[in-house]
């Protein structure tokens, strides 16, 4: 599985649970590594996908649109 596909899965899970660190832990990643993967994905996409706070994350408008694409990619 490619790094990008794993990052898509991480993004989707982070959006679902509302926490990048918690989603990262499910993938065996540290919170820092999980955040770095999401940031790299955002750089590739060219948009901020998640709004971050110290306690939670939520989807940005671009993230909401991108989540549908990510789910389709992961399903195939």
More confident position, 43 or 1: 43
Contact 15, 57 (CB under 8 A): yes
pLDDT tens digits for range 25-57: 999 999 999 999 999 999 999 999 999 988 889
For 66, counting Cβ atoms within 10 Å of its Cβ (0-12 exposed, 13-18 middle, 19+ buried), the class is buried
The total number of residues shown for the chain amounts to 76
């Amino acid at each position: 599985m490619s790094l990008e596909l794993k990052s898509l899965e991480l993004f989707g899970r982070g959006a679902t649970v509302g926490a990048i660190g918690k989603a990262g832990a499910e993938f065996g990643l540290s919170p820092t590594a999980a955040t770095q993967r999401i940031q790299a994905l955002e750089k590739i996409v060219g948009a901020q996908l998640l709004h971050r706070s110290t306690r939670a994350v939520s989807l940005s408008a671009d993230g909401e649109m991108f989540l549908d694409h990510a789910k389709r990619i992961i399903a195939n």
